[in-house]
Amino acid sequence: MNPWLWLLILVAIIYGFLSQRWLGKRFGIKRSERLVYQHVNKMHKIVERLLIIGILLVMFLFLFYFQGEDIGPLLATFFLTLFSVRAFIEWKFERTRKEYILTLNALAIFIFCSLVFFTFRFS
């Protein structure tokens, strides 16, 4: 693999950590000390679990029918959807906590890393 790919992704990850801390301080966002993500409400938990079950089924079917095919774009689409739904629900139901700002930042960094990875990988 191209060493520039790993360098760009490493820079993006470092930027992600630094920007998450900066945004947290800038907007006064208190992140939960828990290791596991805390859902906003019951509907949020159900939606995320349905997404996870759905992606597991799709991945199983994909691997079963298209053996040897690349599953990377499918996983990228799943995480893009998961972060987008998470950011929307945080914005809609818990706007005062401002955690959606950190989720949108993580989403932007994930999109950048995915674009860099797939651009280098398929070029």
Over the stretch 26-39, which tens digit does the pLDDT of each residue have? 999 987 777 788 88
Query: What pLDDT was estimated at residue 89?
Result: 96
* Statement: residue 1 has pLDDT above 80: no
Contacts of 100 (CB under 8 A, 6+ apart): 87, 88, 90, 91, 94
Query: What pLDDT was estimated at residue 45?
Result: 95
Query: What pLDDT was estimated at residue 52?
Result: 94
Tens digit of each residue's pLDDT (9 = 90 or more) over 58-117:
888 888 887 767 888 888 999 999 999 999 999 999 999 999 999 999 999 999 999 988
State the average pLDDT over residues 9-21: 93
CA distances from 93 to 55, 63, 99, 105, 116 (A): 25, 37, 11, 18, 33
Query: What pLDDT was estimated at residue 106?
Result: 94
Contacts of 13 (CB under 8 A, 6+ apart): 109, 113
* Statement: residue 11 has pLDDT above 90: yes
